[in-house]
Amino acid sequence: MQRFVWVAWGLLVVVVDLPLDGWDVLPDVVGYAWVIYGLTGAAGVHPAFVRARSAAVVGIPVWAVLGTPLFASPRYGTLLVTALTVQVVVTTLLVHQVCTGILATAPADDPDSARWARILRVATLVVGVLMLLAIVLTVGGLGLYPLTFLASVVVGVLTVILVQRVARAGWIATA
């Protein structure tokens, strides 16, 4: 199996959060590890993949705060808001850089991948900014975060489909 396919599976785990009693059913730490594994050796393919891998490395300790009930106490409110903000930035950067790498390396005979990568790059940035705004508004008492989270999942799943398609095509080899 080509290594790049692990990026798709890792992104799927990262963008789909299923909480159960304070625990993340699909632990993001596993998703980040799969993304790191899938992008190992990507430095020769495009620098955007290296930045995506670095974002995944930063996401691992953030998951320890958000994916476990260890910090669920109200006394950790500031830590949780900070971790959530960092998670939004990390996820946005991760998806954006994966799409940037796909866009930059897309062969001329696959214009659909380049087009979808371009669209998803912009959509990721828009949703990321909206999520950061929603975090600020949620802290202020207006709860828009669930709506922006849903938009984030949609963009994330579309990116997973794109990465899976690219992995199957085989034109990105990260050995």
Per-residue pLDDT 10s for the chain (175 aa) are 488 999 999 999 999 877 777 677 788 899 999 999 999 978 789 999 999 999 999 999 988 887 777 777 777 778 888 888 999 999 999 999 999 999 999 999 999 999 999 999 999 999 999 999 998 887 666 678 888 889 999 999 999 999 999 999 888 875 4
Q: What is the pLDDT of residue 149?
A: 87
Token representation of residue 143: 């709860």
Instruction: Report whether 51 contacts 97 (CB < 8 A).
Output: yes
DSSP E strands, the chain: 19-20, 23-24
Token representation of residue 85: 């903000």
Q: What is the pLDDT of residue 175?
A: 47
Token representation of residue 130: 């909206």
Q: What is the pLDDT of residue 79?
A: 83
Q: Determine the residue type at 90.
A: V
Q: What is the pLDDT of residue 1?
A: 44
Q: What is the pLDDT of residue 117?
A: 97
Q: What is the pLDDT of residue 147?
A: 87
Token representation of residue 173: 């080899």
Instruction: Report whether 50 contacts 42 (CB < 8 A).
Output: yes
Any idea of the CA torsion for 147, 119, 90, 60, to the nearest 10 degrees? 100
What count of other Cβ atoms lies within 10 Å of the Cβ of residue 79?
13
Q: Is the entire prediction scored with pTM above 0.85?
A: yes
